[in-house]
Structure 1
Amino acid sequence: MGFYIKSITEQASISDIEISLNFWVKDALAVEAEKAGLYISSTGAFLYESMREMRDDYDKGKLDIIVAPPLLISRYFKRDEITDGFSGMLEGRQPDNLLLVVRSDKNINAIEDLRGKRIAMLEGDELSDIYLDTLFLRSFNKSYKKLNPSIQQQAKATRIVLDLYFDKADVGLVYFNSYQVMTELNPDVKNKIKILDSFEVRSKNYSYINKSYPLADEIRRIALSFYKSPRGKQILDIYKTPELDFLKVEELDLVDSLDREHARLLMHAIK
Structure 2
Amino acid sequence: MKTFALLLAIEVFPVAADDQPLAVSPQRFLMGIYYPSIANLVTRADFQVAINVWLEEFSDPLQLSPSRAILFEDMDSLKQAFVAGELDFIMAPPLLLAKHIDRSLLADGFVGTASDGTEYGMVLITRRDAGVQTLAQMRGKVLMLPKNDILAATFLDMLSLKTYRQHFRQVFKEIHTKKRESAVVLALFFKQADVGLSNAEVFNLMIELNPQLQQSLAVLAKFPTKSPNYGYFHSDFPVHVRQAITEKVKELNQQPRPQQVLQALRMVSLVPNAVDNLTVFDSLLDEYRSLETGVKP
Q: Counterparts of 1:93 and 1:76 in 2: how far apart (Å)? A: 30
Q: Does 1:20 align with 2:44?
A: no
Q: Counterparts of 1:101 and 1:166 in 2: how far apart (Å)? A: 14
What CA deviation, in whole Å up to 9, does each residue of 1:192-223 have, x standing for no partner?
A: 11111100111100001110111222223323
Q: What secondary structure sits across from 2:218 in the alignment?
A: strand
Q: Does 1:172 align with 2:196?
A: yes
CA RMSD after TM alignment: 2.0
Q: Does 1:149 align with 2:149?
A: no
Task: Indicate the residue corresponding to 2:151 in structure 1.
Answer: 127
Verify the 8 A CA contact 1:2 1:48 in the aligned structure 2.
yes
The verdict on how the C-alpha distance between 1:160 and 1:256 changes in structure 2, with shifts beyond 3 A counting, is: same
Verify the 8 A CA contact 1:84 1:208 in the aligned structure 2.
yes
The verdict on how the C-alpha distance between 1:112 and 1:198 changes in structure 2, with shifts beyond 3 A counting, is: same
Verify the 8 A CA contact 1:12 1:238 in the aligned structure 2.
no
Give 2:37's match in structure 1, choosing from 1, 4, 7.
7
What is the TM-score of this pair, normalised by structure 2? Answer: 0.82
Say which is worse superposed, 7-16 or 249-258, in terms of deviation: 7-16
Verify the 8 A CA contact 1:2 1:65 in the aligned structure 2.
yes
Verify the 8 A CA contact 1:20 1:235 in the aligned structure 2.
no
The verdict on how the C-alpha distance between 1:73 and 1:240 changes in structure 2, with shifts beyond 3 A counting, is: farther
Give 1:79's match in structure 2, choosing from 95, 103, 108.
103
- Count of residues paired in the alignment: 265
Give 1:39's match in structure 2, choosing from 57, 60, 63.
63
The verdict on how the C-alpha distance between 1:170 and 1:146 changes in structure 2, with shifts beyond 3 A counting, is: same
- C-alpha displacement at 1:128, in angstroms? 0.7
Q: What secondary structure sits across from 1:95 in the alignment?
A: coil
Equivalences for residues 1-271 of structure 1 within 5 A: 1-28=31-58, 30=59, 34=61, 38-91=62-115, 93-214=117-238, 215-233=241-259, 236=262, 241-269=267-295
Say which is worse superposed, 156-165 or 214-223, in terms of deviation: 214-223
Q: Counterparts of 2:252 and 2:224 in 1: how far apart (Å)? A: 25
Q: Counterparts of 1:178 and 1:104 in 2: how far apart (Å)? A: 19
Q: Counterparts of 1:110 and 1:64 in 2: how far apart (Å)? A: 45
Q: Counterparts of 1:41 and 1:69 in 2: how far apart (Å)? A: 27
Higher helix residue share? 1
- Amino acid in the other structure paired with 1:144: F
Q: What secondary structure sits across from 1:27 in the alignment?
A: helix
Runs in 1 of length 4+ with deviation above 6 angstroms? none
- Amino acid in the other structure paired with 1:174: S
What CA deviation, in whole Å up to 9, does each residue of 1:54-99 have, x standing for no partner?
A: 1222233221111100011112211111011111110154210111
Verify the 8 A CA contact 1:88 1:241 in the aligned structure 2.
yes
What CA deviation, in whole Å up to 9, does each residue of 1:6-61 have, x standing for no partner?
A: 11122223233223322442234x37xx4xxx432321111111111112222332
What is the TM-score of this pair, normalised by structure 1? Answer: 0.90
- C-alpha displacement at 1:227, in angstroms? 4.4
Q: Which runs of 5+ in 1 are unaligned?
A: none
Q: Counterparts of 1:63 and 1:231 in 2: how far apart (Å)? A: 28
Q: Which runs of 5+ in 2 are unaligned?
A: 1-30
Verify the 8 A CA contact 2:161 2:292 in the aligned structure 1.
yes
